[in-house]
Amino acid sequence: MFGLGLPELIIILLILLILAVPVGIVLVVIWLTRRSGNKSVNKGGYMFCTKCGTQNDADASNCVRCGNILHHPRQFGTAPSEGITVPNYLAQAILVTIFCCVPFGIPAIVFAAQVNSKLQGGDYTGAVEASKKAKTWCWVSFWVGLGFGVIYLVFKIIGALVENSF
């Protein structure tokens, strides 16, 4: 096959295996994260009227006592209710930093680390934005790392072919 000897074929297969394992791990983690979805939404609960302070159901649109329109926290950029989570992509950020591309993985880790602290601080909009940025940097790191891996593999194959032709 292409004039390659057994040692060169073994080296090429090992390189393919070394590249495939981290890429496979990252893809499985991303797939599992997407598959699990956001199932932690709290359907029950309560909220208080800002006008009279009466406790109302979380799904109510008007206060039961004074009729005031209840604004759900999501409209103001704070955490919608207890139990709502925003994916932080920290596991994916760490994996792509280790296995794919360190320079683009570092911003993914930084943004992923900001998600939970912003949620705890009541900044729901900021948490969602940090989550989107972490996801974006994870994908950038993944594709850049995969691209460099493929380019490296192509150069190794070309080098092996050129070496055997002389």
Considering the domain architecture, whether residues 89 and 74 belong to the same structural domain is answered as: no
Residues 111 and 159 in one domain: yes
Residues 112 and 143 occupy one common structural domain = yes
How far apart are the C-alpha atoms of 2 and 156, rounded to whole Å? 13
139 and 98 share one domain:
yes
* Side-chain-facing half-sphere of 45: CA atoms under 13 Å: 13
DSSP single-letter state for residue 62: B
Could you tell me if 65 and 99 lie in one domain?
no
20 and 89, same structural domain? yes
Check residues 9 and 113 and name the one with the higher pLDDT. Answer: 113
> Is residue 71 domain-shared with residue 124, that is, in the same domain?
no
State both tokens at 154.
């192509």
Q: How many CB atoms lie within 10 A of CB 28?
A: 11
DSSP state of 46: E
Q: Print the domain residue range for 121.
A: 1-40+85-166
pLDDT tens column, 28-78: 666 655 655 444 333 456 777 777 778 888 778 888 888 888 765 544 455
- Mark whether 61 and 133 lie in a shared domain: no
In a shared domain, residues 11 and 34: yes
52 and 27: one domain? no
Give the predicted TM-score (pTM) of the model. Answer: 0.53
How many independent structural domains does the chain possess?
Answer: 2
pLDDT digits (tens, 9 = 90+) for 100-158: 888 888 999 999 999 988 888 888 888 999 999 999 999 999 999 999 989 988 888 88
